[in-house]
Amino acid sequence: MLEVNGLRVSYGGIQAVRGISFHVDEGEMVALIGANGAGKSSTLRALARLVNPVGGNVRYRGKELLSLPAHQLVAEGIALVPEGRGIFPRMTTSENLRMGAFSRNDKQAVERDLEHVFSLFPRLAERAQQVAGTLSGGEQQMLAIGRALMSQPKLMLLDEPSMGLAPIMVQKIFEVIRTVASQGMTILLIEQNAKLALEVSQRGYVMESGTISLTEESAKLLADPKVRAAYLGE
Ligand SMILES: Nc1ncnc2c1ncn2[C@@H]1O[C@H](COP(=O)(O)OP(=O)(O)OP(=O)(O)O)[C@@H](O)[C@H]1O
Ligand SMILES: [Mg+2]
């Protein structure tokens, strides 16, 4: 579904992503793990066209992603849930969710999907009329994922959904990620919490200083002593 070849991202003189290649097949959940500053978010931002890569190409469902206009990505089925969430703080929960469906005009299906998001995250249903800026961190993360789902994505790009959340909240959010994945969603997941990421994904890539140093089935990465020492705190 997604095939990345030789992707490069630079900020001025800093090369954050140094020609990486990887792929995500339809229906797969793939994890991208690595230390702070390894270039994970830059990779995702390049795929979501929030930064312009300086090299490489990306095939997405048979199209050259980097030559599509950035505003077309949502319609193409790509949804980014960014690090730091990016919700609209002055709008209510329900308004935020509807914003996720802005490119759709199938009103009835939008209402049905809204109910679906509320069933995945009952907490959001209880807070439908609450201004999003006053939601807790975990609730805002739920909202960001819910809003992405409202665009009916084919590929979700998740940047550190567990960041800054208490274990119970992380557990809830990952339950939903698993549910969504089991319903056939294709997911590229970035996580600082490598253990969790490798537990829920099928395959993983390890990023180090802008390059991919290792790729394997997630279960094998989890068992790899080098990975355990470097990323699982053992
Ligand atoms: N807008 C920017 N301008 C300049 N440098 C940047 C910018 N964004 C990222 N960088 C640099 O690029 C490198 C990769 O950053 P990136 O955010 O992709 O890392 P990351 O793997 O997501 O790290 P983390 O786990 O801390 O989120 C870092 O050295 C960072 O300082
Ligand atoms: Mg990051």
Q: Give the binding-site residues of ligand 1, using a 6 Å CB cut-off.
A: 11, 14, 16, 34, 36-42, 83, 192
pLDDT of residue 195: 93
Transcribe 168-233 into DSSP letters. HHHHHHHHHHHHHHHTT-EEEEE-S-HHHHHHH-SEEEEEETTEEEEEEEHHHHHH-HHHHHHHS-
Ligand showing the shortest atom-to-Cα distance for residue 32: 1
Alpha helices in the chain (DSSP H): 40-47, 73-76, 93-99, 107-120, 122-126, 137-149, 167-182, 194-200, 218-223, 225-231
* Nearest CA owner, ligand 1 atom 9: 42
CA angle at 49 for the pair 163 and 215, rounded to the nearest 5°: 60
pLDDT of residue 232: 85
- pLDDT at position 41 is 95
Question: Residue 77: its pLDDT value, please?
Answer: 95
Shortest CA distance to 197 belongs to which of 179, 165, 214, 221?
221
For ligand 1, mutation pick of 7, 9, 10, 11 (most atoms within 8 Å of CB): 11
Closest-CA residue, ligand 1 atom 7, reads 11
Q: Which atom of ligand 1 is nearest to the CA of 207?
A: 21
CB 136 within 8 A of CB 93: no
- In whole angstroms, give the CA distance from residue 104 to residue 15: 37
Give the Å distance between the CA of 115 and the centre of ligand 2. 31
- Ligand closest to 40 (CA) is 1
pLDDT (0 to 100) of residue 45: 94
Mean pLDDT in order along the chain per 10 residues (234 residues): 98 95 98 95 95 95 91 92 88 96 91 96 96 94 96 96 91 95 96 93 97 96 92 80
- CATH fold of 1-77+200-234 reads Rossmann fold (3.40.50)
Predicted confidence (pLDDT) per residue in 164-195, tens digit:
899 999 999 999 999 999 999 999 999 989 99
Q: Which of 234, 127, 116, 228 is nearest to 179 (CA)?
A: 116
State the pLDDT at residue 192. 87
Rounded Cα gap, residues 41 and 32, in angstroms: 10
pLDDT of residue 233: 77
What is the end-to-end Cα distance of the chain in Å, rounded?
Answer: 35
Query: Domain residue spans in the chain?
Result: 1-77+200-234
**Is residue 75 within 8 Å of residue 100, measured between CB atoms?**
no
pLDDT recorded at residue 110: 96
* Closest residue by Cα to residue 53 from 116, 24, 92, 10: 10
CA of 206 to the centre of ligand 2 (A): 13
d(CA 232, CA 39): 19
Using the mean position of ligand 1's atoms as its centre, give its distance from the Cα of residue 172 in Å: 28
